[in-house]
Amino acid sequence: MTTHQEIVRTITDSEWGIKVLKQLDTQPDTGSILRETLFETWYLFSHLENNTITSRAKPVTLINGACPDRDTFSSETNCTQICTNPDTLFASWKTLWQCLSLAVLTIGNATFSNSLKRPPGEFGALSPSVQINDALWEYGILYDSDFDGRSVLDLTYQCASASCREMTMGECSIGQLDSGFFQSEKLEWIKMSKALESLCYGLESDINIDIAGPGILITYITQTAMAVFAWAFFLVLAVSDSIQNSTSILGCVFRKKNMDHRSSVLGFLGRTNIAHATSTFLAELHEAQCFFVAAIEIALINANSRPAIFTGADNWQSLLWNRDSIRFLAGMGVWPIILAQISLRRAQLDSMYYLLLSTIAVILAGVAADTASKPDPDNVYRMFADLNNLEECGGNPSLRTFCVEERSSMYWFVFPADSIYAFIALLAIIWWIKLWNVIVSSSWFIQRQKPLSNEQHEDWERLKRISFKFSLVLIHAAEAGALACICLGLLGIRRPLLDLLLRGESGTWSVGQLVAVLIWVPVISKYAHLVILGVEKGFRLRLSRAFEIVKKPKTGAMNNDDL
C-alpha cells in the first residue's frame, strides 16, 4: 500500500479522460460512467476493508461544478434535489457521474464504517473517513440523511431497465435485483454494477450512408485514381525530358547520332495528342475535385453542428463512426488535390486560380476533420436531447443512447486532426514557389536588378539556382508525403467498402449513392473524347464559331526543367 493513498479527489470535467482512464481521447459514455462509479469504487472500498489496496485502486472522483457546492447551493438547487430528480439526474453526463459518486460515498461511509476509521498515517494527514466527510461537506452533506444515495441508485437502475426494454437499438438484457435491494442495511452496490454490465451489449449501430456510403467511397477512390494517373503521366514526361537533356549532352561529347534519335523517341510522348488531352483533363479534374471536396466538407461541417437525428445517428456509437468517416474522407479528398496541384505546376498550368481553389478546399477539409475529431461530451448530450426519450429517465434520452460498445475505429487508418497543418504546409510550399516566380519575373523586380554590378548579378543568379533546387526538394517531399497518405487511405477504405458492398441491402444503394458514383463521368467522358477525336477538333466542337483553334508548331506538354 502506498504511503499516501487518496480516497476522494475532485477534478474538472476537462481532466476526466486523462485522470480517470489515463487516456486523453476517451469519452464518458454510459459504460465508462457505470464501470468507474460503481465497479471501481466497490473495488476501492472492499480492498480498503481487507487492507490490500494496490496501485490499481482508483479514488472516488468528483467533478467540480457538476452540482452546486456549499458556497453556491440553496434549498432548491442543492445536490440532493438535483440527484433525486430524474429530470436533472440524467440531463448531463457530469450530473450522473457526480450523483453516482456521491451516492457510493454516502453508502460506503455507512457500509464500510469500521474500515474507514483507519490510522491517518497510511493515508497522509487524514484517515479515509475524514477524507470522505470533508468531500461530502463541500456539497453541504453533513449526515447520511442529507443525501439519499439509495434513491440515486434506484433511479439509475429504473432508467437502465427502461432503456433495455426499448428495443430500437437492438436486443438487451440486464440482471435482476432483489425487490428489497435498495433498502438493505448494508447495500452492496457491486451487485448493481454486475447487473448493468451488459447494458451496452448487442447495440445496433451503423454509419450514415449519406456520409460514407459505398457510392461515396467509390467516388473518392475514383478521384484518387485519376489524380495519381495524371501525376504519373506528367512525371513520365518530366523524366523523359530529363533523359533527353542528358542524352543530347552525351551525344555532343561522344558524337553519336543514334543517341539523339533515342532522345527524340523519348520526347515524342510529350508531343502526342494524348499529352495535350491529359493536360486539359488534369486542369478540369482539379477544378472539379476542388469544388466537389469543398461542397462535401461544408455539408459535413454543417452536420457536425446539427442534432444527432440530422446525421442519422441513433446512439453515441453511430455518432463516433460517422465522425471517423468525416475525418477519414477529409484526408482522403485532400491528398489527391495536393498531388494534382503539384502536377499542374509540372504541366505549367498552375495558375493563381487553381491554387486558390486548392487552398479553400484544404482549409475546409481541415476544419471538418478538426471539428469531428474531439466531440465534446456536453455537445453530444445536447445533440441527442430529442432522441430516444424515456419517462423513467426524466424525459431524457435512454442510457443506451450513450453507449459505445466498439471503441476501435471502423477504418484501419484515420487521418489525425492535426493533419490540417500538413495540408497547409504543403500548399504553403507551392504558394511560396509560385509567388517567388511571379516576383522574380515582374518588370519592377527586373528594373531593380539593372543597377547591380556583375559580381552582384552572379550572387543573385547563384541565389536563384539554390532557391530553385530547394523548391524542387520541397516539391518532391510533398509528392512523397501525398503518395504515402494516399496509399494509407486506400488501405483504410478497403474493409468498410467491402462490408458495405457485401451487405446486399437495397437501402445501401440510395439515389444519392448512384449519383455519387457517376459524378466523375463527365470528366472522364470529355477526356476520352479529346483522346479519340484530338484536342483541336474536340475544342472546335465546344467553342463558339467566333473563335479559331490554332496549334503552335513543335510545342510539347512541358519544358525540360519541370522535373
Among 275-289, 293-307, 546-560, which is the least confidently predicted range?
Answer: 546-560
Indicate whether 319 pLDDT > 70.
Answer: yes
**Integer CA distances (angstroms), 283 to 266, 288, 313, in order:** 24, 9, 38
- CA angle 11/16/22 to nearest 5° reads 115
CA-based torsion, 226, 349, 283, 370: positive or negative: positive
> Which grid cell sits at 555?
510545342
Among 268-272, 385-389, 391-395, 537-541, which is the least confidently predicted range?
Answer: 268-272
Q: Where are the alpha helices (DSSP H) in 405-520?
A: 419-440, 443-449, 454-501, 511-517
Whether residues 510 and 410 share a domain: the answer is yes
Domain-embedded: residue 202: no
Q: pLDDT tens, 21-59?
A: 666 567 889 999 999 999 999 988 887 777 666 667 788
Are the C-beta atoms of 492 and 412 separated by less than 8 Å?
yes
**Would you give the end-to-end CA distance of the chain in angstroms?**
66
Residue span of the structural domain in which 227 resides? 213-540
Indicate whether 506 pLDDT > 80.
Answer: no
Q: What is the mean pLDDT of residues 92-101?
A: 93
CA distance 133 to 119: 15
Domain-embedded: residue 563: no
Of 89-98, 267-276, 468-477, 492-501, the range with the highest mean pLDDT is 89-98
Length in residues, the chain = 563
Indicate whether 150 pLDDT > 90.
Answer: yes
Between 117 and 87, residue with greater pLDDT = 87
- pLDDT band of 267, cuts 50, 70, 90: low
Between 407 and 403, residue with greater pLDDT = 403
- pLDDT band of 1, cuts 50, 70, 90: very low
Indicate whether 192 pLDDT > 90.
Answer: yes
CA distance 151 to 34: 16
Q: What is the mean pLDDT of residues 130-147?
A: 83
Indicate whether 287 pLDDT > 90.
Answer: yes
Q: pLDDT tens, 156-166?
A: 999 999 999 98
Whether residues 532 and 399 share a domain: the answer is yes
Percent of the chain with pLDDT over 70: 80
Whether residues 160 and 228 share a domain: the answer is no
Whether residues 251 and 325 share a domain: the answer is yes
Whether residues 122 and 251 share a domain: the answer is no
Are the C-beta atoms of 303 and 311 separated by less than 8 Å?
yes
Whether residues 263 and 124 share a domain: the answer is no
Indicate whether 122 pLDDT > 80.
Answer: no
Whether residues 18 and 148 share a domain: the answer is yes
User: Which among 307, 288, 321 has a CA at the least distance from the CA of 211?
Assistant: 321
Domain-embedded: residue 208: no
Domain-embedded: residue 561: no
CA distance 559 to 554: 12
pLDDT the model gives residue 258? 53
Average pLDDT, rounded, for the chain: 81
Domain-embedded: residue 551: no
Between 119 and 21, residue with greater pLDDT = 21
Indicate whether 114 pLDDT > 60.
Answer: yes
pLDDT the model gives residue 190? 93
Q: pLDDT tens, 510-559?
A: 788 888 889 999 999 999 988 888 877 777 777 766 667 676 665 555 55
Domain-embedded: residue 545: no
Whether residues 66 and 170 share a domain: the answer is yes
Q: pLDDT tens, 449-496?
A: 777 777 777 877 788 788 778 878 888 887 888 888 888 888 888 888
What is the rounded (10 degree) CA torsion for 374, 379, 381, 382?
A: -150
- pLDDT band of 155, cuts 50, 70, 90: very high
> Which grid cell sits at 120?
491517518
Domain-embedded: residue 555: no
Whether residues 339 and 455 share a domain: the answer is yes
Whether residues 90 and 173 share a domain: the answer is yes
Percent of the chain with pLDDT over 90: 25
Are the C-beta atoms of 264 and 241 separated by less than 8 Å?
no
Domain-embedded: residue 560: no
Structurally, the chain folds into a number of domains equal to: 2
> Which grid cell sits at 149?
444515495
CA distance 215 to 210: 9
For 316, other C-beta atoms within 10 Å of its C-beta total: 30
CA distance 294 to 128: 58
Whether residues 390 and 433 share a domain: the answer is yes
For 255, other C-beta atoms within 10 Å of its C-beta total: 8
The amino acid present at 290, given as its one-letter code, is C
Whether residues 155 and 245 share a domain: the answer is no
- pLDDT band of 432, cuts 50, 70, 90: confident
Indicate whether 172 pLDDT > 70.
Answer: yes
User: 196, 223, 244: which is the final residue of a domain?
Assistant: 196
pLDDT the model gives residue 3? 45
Between 508 and 460, residue with greater pLDDT = 460
Q: What is the mean pLDDT of residues 214-237?
A: 91
Beta-carbon contacts of 89 under 8 Å, excluding residues fewer than 6 positions away, are 82, 83, 95, 96, 99, 152, 155, 156, 394
Indicate whether 179 pLDDT > 50.
Answer: yes
